[in-house]
Copies of this chain bind each other. A is one copy, B any other.
Amino acid sequence: MTTQHETILRGAEDPGLGHLRIATEEAFCPPELVGMWQELLSAGGDLDPGFQSQMGFYLRSAAERPKFIFERLQDLGALRLADMDATGIDRQIISLTAPGTQIFADAATATSVATLANDQLADACRAHPDRFSGLTAVAPQDPRAAAEEIRRGHDELGFCGAIVNSHTNGEYLSDPKFWPILEAAEALDTPIYLHPTTPPPSMIGPLLEAGLEGAIYGFAVETGMHLLRIIRSGAFDRFPRLKFVVGHLGEALPFWLYRLDYMHVAAVRAGRYASIKPLQRKVSDYMRENVWCTTSGMAWEPAIQFCRQVLGAEHVLYAMDYPYECVAAEVRDQDAMALSPAEMKAFYQTNAEELFGLPGPGR
């Protein structure tokens, strides 16, 4: 995690490489927000158990990994650029780390945190336009303010998408009350990155009990479920040009495409759930047409090639998951995949440029 055994040249420095490396799920956290989370933890009370486990560990542990991560999350300058240089990353697409604004019960507080985070990130992107791009943080607690912030992020701050850190106090974007957010993203043709967080109290029980609520399993379960909820809600029928990005190779949903199609049709045909309506397309069609998957935390050729096979190569793109993962050997492993130079360029560079509109005006 923390040790770099080698330095990898960036694409911009290595004429032989033939492409840039754009990392698309890279996290930061304003120091002010770290302080607010610390306050929540200290106050105790009726705290979300996932947050308590996750941030109680990251913000209080003396172990090497959490210290490394939280030092780097709060850096948008020299430390981050040095890590990018050491691991061969030309550009990071940076977003507010989980749970971001979404742990706050109060919408005004959450919205002000989003504004703060976006202003900080925009400053960093302006300072390093050749290395940093950003996603707009939002507070779904106030859907109309979130939609307006996506517009501000896109039009005024030069951001290339938005980030939602999965559920908001146990609520999901499948609920039409959040659809102003989806509407704004579609109207601006800017993607929404759906990033994991720990499952809500109504789901976390046996995961937390076994230490499985985080990156090892619970994140994927929560986020895969969230994307399925969005698909089954008919959101992509209502907003057919809407684009979602999901990390960790689609949180395993690509593995399930066949079964998702079979069981969704079976449930609709049997009229099992009043809330589950027929969709215009197959579940797998939305996965292949409205969803892009990144390789964050999944630097493993068999799974990457599987996703390229079943989703299409243009829907699979590179991410590191910095600073949660910062391993030069993982870049080397992905460099060594059995891909042609053109396929490698799409994977590391042009898929991201097209999806996020890079480089665009002010990007």
Binding site for B on A (CB under 8 A): 1, 57, 61, 63-66, 167, 170, 172, 174, 199-207, 210-212, 214-217, 220-221, 224-225, 228-229, 232, 248-249, 252, 255-260, 262-264, 266-267, 269-273, 275-276, 297-300, 302-303, 306, 309-310, 325
B residues in contact with A199, CB < 8 Å = 206
Q: Which of A174, A211, A225 has the most CB of B within 10 A?
A: A211
CA distance A164 to B234 in the complex (A): 36
Q: Known contacts A216-B267, A221-B221, A263-B216; is A205 also within 8 Å of B202 by CB?
A: yes
Choose from B216, B263, B306 the contact partner of A306 (Cβ within 8 Å): B306
| Chain B nearest Cβ from A224, distance in angstroms | 7
B residues in contact with A248, CB < 8 Å = 259
User: Is the beta-carbon distance between B217 and A206 smaller than 8 angstroms?
Assistant: no
21 residue pairs bridging A and B, Cβ less than 8 Å apart = A61-B270, A167-B206, A201-B205, A202-B205, A203-B203, A203-B207, A210-B225, A210-B229, A210-B275, A211-B272, A211-B275, A212-B229, A215-B263, A216-B259, A216-B260, A216-B264, A216-B267, A221-B221, A252-B255, A252-B256, A255-B306
Output the nearest chain B residue to A283 by Cβ-Cβ distance.
Answer: B216
B residues in contact with A297, CB < 8 Å = 259, 262
| Chain B nearest Cβ from A259, distance in angstroms | 6
| Chain B nearest Cβ from A169, distance in angstroms | 12
CA distance A206 to B269 in the complex (A): 22
Output the nearest chain B residue to A202 by Cβ-Cβ distance.
Answer: B205
B residues in contact with A202, CB < 8 Å = 204-206
User: Is the beta-carbon distance between B212 and A225 smaller than 8 angstroms?
Assistant: yes
CA distance A249 to B258 in the complex (A): 12
User: Is the beta-carbon distance between B63 and A271 smaller than 8 angstroms?
Assistant: yes
User: Is the beta-carbon distance between A170 and B206 smaller than 8 angstroms?
Assistant: yes
CA distance A255 to B295 in the complex (A): 13
CA distance A340 to B214 in the complex (A): 41
Output the nearest chain B residue to A260 by Cβ-Cβ distance.
Answer: B216
Choose from B63, B214, B220, B259 the contact partner of A269 (Cβ within 8 Å): B63
Output the nearest chain B residue to A248 by Cβ-Cβ distance.
Answer: B259
Q: Which of A225, A257, A269 has the most CB of B within 10 A?
A: A225
B residues in contact with A270, CB < 8 Å = 57, 61, 63-66
